[in-house]
């Protein structure tokens, strides 16, 4: 199984299963190695039912990539990791239409690179 995404140039980038255990899967791109990280980690946790609730399914998608970053006043680079997390908590029993609506809105936000850049690079919360 694999995940295929597009890079900024619109070219496909395929992530293949590297490791799978229980409720967690790690996918790596061909650029990954012992020194370079380019991976997606997907995990999920089953709902815990209580007396008055069916519980929430908790899931996460973590995207990690390493890049060289300049060191101030030294003219050198160090390798740092870029991390982007998508964390969800969906109540069990929620109508599928409600889940679809929520996913559509999140996809619309993620589909706005300029807005995301304002948030994650500039630190703006009012976009």
Six token digits for residue 66: 């390493």
* The pairing of beta strand 12-21 with beta strand 2-6: antiparallel
Tens-digit pLDDT profile for residues 16-48: 999 999 999 999 999 999 889 999 999 999 999
Confidence of residue 73 (pLDDT cuts 50, 70, 90): confident
- CA 117, 118, 120: angle at the middle one, nearest 5? 60
Which pLDDT does position 42 carry in this prediction?
A: 97
Given a cut of 80, is residue 95 above it in pLDDT? yes
**pTM listed for this prediction:** 0.86
Given a cut of 80, is residue 62 above it in pLDDT? yes
């Amino acid at each position: 199984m694999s995940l295929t995404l597009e890079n900024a140039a619109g070219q496909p980038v395929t992530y293949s299963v590297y490791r799978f255990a229980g409720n967690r899967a790690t996918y790596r791109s061909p650029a990954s190695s012992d020194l370079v990280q380019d991976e997606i980690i997907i995990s999920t946790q089953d709902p815990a039912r209580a007396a008055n609730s069916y519980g929430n399914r908790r899931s996460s998608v973590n995207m990690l990539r390493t890049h060289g970053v300049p060191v101030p006043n030294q003219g050198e680079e160090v390798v740092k990791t870029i991390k982007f997390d998508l964390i969800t908590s969906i109540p069990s029993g929620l109508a599928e239409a409600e889940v679809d609506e929520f996913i559509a809105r999140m996809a619309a936000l993620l589909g706005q690179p300029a807005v995301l850049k304002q948030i994650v690079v500039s630190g703006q919360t009012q976009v």
